[in-house]
Amino acid sequence: MVAGFNFGILVISSLLFLSFYVKSVSPASLEKRIGPSAYQRCANYRVISSFFMMIVAVNYMLYYWFPLQLPLPRTFSWSWRVSAIIALFIAIPSLYLMIRGAKDAGEETMTPKREHTMYGGIYTRIRHPQAVGEFPLWWVLAFLAHSPFLVLFSFVYVPVWYYMCVAEEQDLLIRYGEAYEEYRQKTGFWFPKIGS
């Protein structure tokens, strides 16, 4: 019963963080309807989205003690230390991209500002470094929970993050117009363009 409740909260919180994140990356679109207060509202949505993302992370950890009864092994056949090493190998590049992207985006990471210009730094190579850094962290948590099911379930977040990035780009096209379209032509979505 606890396992089902934990997993249910995980799924509901995942849907909520997706919903609020998509709302948070649409300030220019929202501004057309409600005016300049759209940017503060989107910042609030980002905080709410982050809260639900933290709930999902807690659910991942709780899954170690409260796994679903599934036709999969409860844990991997190797020791937890091996899973921890795999998690570390995923975490190092992921955290680098996430932190570097947040540094180069500045306060826009959590608080969109109407007057903010397009980003530099790592954003001159890829358009969504924070996303590329964040979604693999679900595999980090899954391996730390030593759970084959969570490793498989974490693949769900690839299209989720893709959708969030596409939603963000739609609003950035409204905010920056032709300059953003030119930037998209020169810069890779999740990976650098060959020869750019």
Q: Nearest 5°: CA angle at 154, between 74 and 63?
A: 40
Distance of alpha carbon 104 from alpha carbon 28, whole angstroms: 21
Q: What's the pLDDT at 196? A: 55
In a domain, 194, yes or no: no
Render pLDDT for 117-135 as a digit per residue (tens, 0 to 9). Answer: 777 889 999 999 999 999 9
User: Quick check: is 195 in a domain?
Assistant: no
- pTM comes to 0.89
Percent of the chain with pLDDT over 90: 86
Q: What would the two tokens of residue 27 be?
A: 């300030």
**Residue 19 CA neighbour count, 13 Å, CB half:** 7
| Residue 191, in any domain of the structure | no
Residue 146: inside a domain: yes
The answer to whether residue 129 is domain-embedded is yes
Q: What is the mean pLDDT of residues 95-114?
A: 88
The CATH number covering residue 21 comes to 1.20.120
70 within some domain: yes
| 193 assigned to some structural domain | no
Q: Which residue has the higher pLDDT, 52 or 121?
A: 52
Return the pLDDT at 96.
96
Q: How far apart are CA 144 and CA 123, in angstroms?
A: 30
| Alpha-carbon distance values, 16 to 50, 56, 58, 67, 110 (Å) | 10, 10, 15, 22, 17
Read off the pLDDT of residues 150-163 as tens digits, 9 standing for 90 and up. Answer: 999 999 999 999 99
Q: Indicate the number of domains in the chain.
A: 1
**What is the residue range of 161's domain?**
2-186
Length of the chain: 196
Residue 100 in domain: yes
What per-residue confidence (pLDDT) applies to 120? 82
Which stretch of DSSP H or E encloses residue 32? Answer: helix 27-34
165's CB contacts (< 8 A; 6+ apart) are 127, 128, 131, 189, 190
